[in-house]
């Protein structure tokens, strides 16, 4: 059974890590039901969605239905389980548009709020990670 994943940064279609995301995209864009702080962080300008619901802005992203192998690859890219990694957890999103849509639960990659040093913030909070932001992104050195 596929897992629904909300992607807000480099895993979006046409963005630097999209090749890792082999899921089937749901049509349209979605936004987090709650506000979350989305920042570009560090010298690599990595997009961080902090696990601090109720602060920041509702964040626009995409929803994908992914199989187990793709989810494992996405977890590896996002360093789930590593001290400096993201935590994959459930959040609620709604279709992004003029008309309010029905909320539903998805998985998302969030950074623990206590891991962000204020001096590492390069930009944000943001409502959406754009191609202009992605142009600043630098991949992790091997």
Which CATH number do you get for residue 13? Answer: 3.10.490.10
pTM recorded for the entire structure = 0.94
Mean pLDDT of 70-80: 97
Distance, CA of 54 to CA of 74 (rounded, Å): 26
Identify the pLDDT of residue 76.
97
Domain span including residue 67 = 3-134
Tally of domains in the chain: 1
Identify the pLDDT of residue 114.
94
Distance, CA of 27 to CA of 84 (rounded, Å): 32
* For the chain, percent of residues with pLDDT exceeding 70: 99
Look at phi and psi of residue 14 and say left if phi exceeds 0, alpha if psi is from -120 to 50, else beta: left
Identify the pLDDT of residue 13.
97
The answer to whether residue 78 is catalytic is yes
Sign of the C-alpha dihedral computed for residues 116, 35, 64 and 13 taken in this order = negative
Residue from 33, 43, 62, 78 carrying the catalytic annotation: 78
Contact 127, 59 (CB under 8 A): yes
Which of the four pLDDT bands, split at 50, 70 and 90, describes residue 140?
A: confident
Distance, CA of 72 to CA of 78 (rounded, Å): 10
The answer to whether residue 139 is domain-embedded is no
């Amino acid at each position: 059974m596929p897992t629904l994943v909300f992607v807000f940064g480099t895993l979006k279609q046409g963005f630097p890590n999209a090749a890792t995301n082999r899921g089937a995209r749901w049509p349209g864009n979605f936004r987090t039901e709650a506000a979350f702080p989305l920042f570009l962080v560090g010298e690599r300008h990595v997009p961080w969605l902090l696990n601090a619901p109720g602060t920041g802005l509702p964040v626009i992203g995409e929803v994908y239905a992914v199989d187990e192998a793709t989810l494992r690859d996405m977890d590896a890219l996002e360093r789930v389980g590593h001290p400096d990694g993201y935590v994959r957890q459930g959040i609620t999103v709604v279709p992004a548009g003029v008309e309010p849509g029905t909320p539903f639960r998805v998985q998302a990659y969030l950074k623990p709020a206590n891991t962000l040093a204020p001096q590492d913030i390069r930009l944000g909070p943001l409502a959406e990670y754009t191609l202009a932001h992605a142009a600043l992104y630098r991949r992790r050195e091997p």
